[in-house]
Structure 1
Amino acid sequence: MGVVGQRGFTLIEILVVLAIIGIMVGLAGVRMMPDDDRTVHGEAQRLALLLEQARDQAVASGEPIAFSAEQRGYRFWSLDAENRWVPRAGDELLRDRPLAGDVRLAALRVNQASLAAGERLLFLPSGSNAPFSADLALNAAHARIRGDSLGRVRIETREAAPE
């Protein structure tokens, strides 16, 4: 009986395949991680939808709803029985939220005037609201949310830093 040659892979072949797999996994991992532009745009979309929802709820309920923001998060407000602004309770949609990751609120303006700390953007039951803009930033990525007097909200992405 003759010796049958053994078949298999050499160490070099196995190392080459592992190197190729490692490179592909590394590239896929980098591609899967959201970049700054995507992160800011996603956060701008979420906030824009919530602002539209606040406006819609103010119109539907006949009660004003307010929005305030800090650099790293935001909150929605309602009036209590004594006409004082209190954070919305029991509302899963319009609850206190942090901004995603390292996204920050660079500016919030109503009628082109910057809001001071503690001031609120109001959504009135009439549906007519003051025009506003909110600038979100993450490193070099920026997005601006604009709301008009009819309550329409749109997102603008920009290359330059917010004004």
Structure 2
Amino acid sequence: MTYQTRTLARSPIRFRNSGFTLLELLVVLVIMGIMLGAVSLNAVQSVHQKLQTDAQRISLLLQLAREEAIVRNRQTAFEVFDQGYQFLVLNENKWEKITDLDTLRGRQFTFPETQVSILSQDAVSADKLRIVFGREPVSRPFKLILRVGDDQVAVNADGVGHFVVE
């Protein structure tokens, strides 16, 4: 036993704690906070990106409405109302909502304050913003503009079925 005490007296044993210091934990938390902040900023879409998503959706729906007009052999229309849009079909000189095709149901804009304007060679009545697709595969070109504040996105139609979002 005396041998063991001599060894202990010559070299004191130090115990190293196997945990992290408070400073190390704080540094890791700060780094994680910065990373989370950067990821969340990239994940949230801007107003322009959401407006562009709306325009892409409308572009695809306009193409579908154009094709429906040709297939049904009846005029089909895209109409803008207060906070959204709908698709109509002309039945016996009366415009009616399309109810038999779920993809052309009425929808709301992402932003209720979205302003819509249509630039076309056709005269558009002041009270209704409407684009009409006829039975023929060629129609007049138009430009549909969606605007929220300073952000603006346009859907250009060339008249032969190509719709491009700018």
TM-score range, shorter chain: 0.7 to 0.9
Instruction: Give the AA of the match of 2:144.
Output: A
- Per the TM alignment, residue 92 of structure 1 is displaced from its structure 2 partner at its CA by 1.0
| Cα distance per residue 1:97-152 (max 9 Å; x no partner) | 11123561331233175542225211001122222211112332211111123232
Partner residue, 2:86? 75
Structure 2: 5+ residue stretches without partners: 1-7
> Alignment partner for residue 43 of structure 1, among 54, 63, 81?
54
* 1:109 maps to 2:140: no
Taking a change above 3 Å as real, the CA distance of residues 78 and 57 of structure 1, as seen in their structure-2 partners, is same
| RMSD over equivalenced CA pairs, Å | 2.1
Taking a change above 3 Å as real, the CA distance of residues 62 and 78 of structure 1, as seen in their structure-2 partners, is same
The percent of aligned pairs where both chains have the same amino acid is 29
Taking a change above 3 Å as real, the CA distance of residues 90 and 23 of structure 1, as seen in their structure-2 partners, is same
* 1:118 maps to 2:123: no
Taking a change above 3 Å as real, the CA distance of residues 79 and 146 of structure 1, as seen in their structure-2 partners, is same
Instruction: Give the AA of the match of 1:97.
Output: R
Superposed, 1:3-152 pairs within 5 Å as 4-80=15-91, 82-101=92-111, 104-111=114-121, 113=123, 115-152=125-162
TM-score by structure 1 length? 0.84
Structure 1: 5+ residue stretches without partners: 157-163
Q: Which has the higher helix share?
A: 2
Which of these two proteins has the greater Rg computed from alpha carbons? 2
TM-score by structure 2 length? 0.82
Dislocated runs of 4+, deviation >6 Å: none
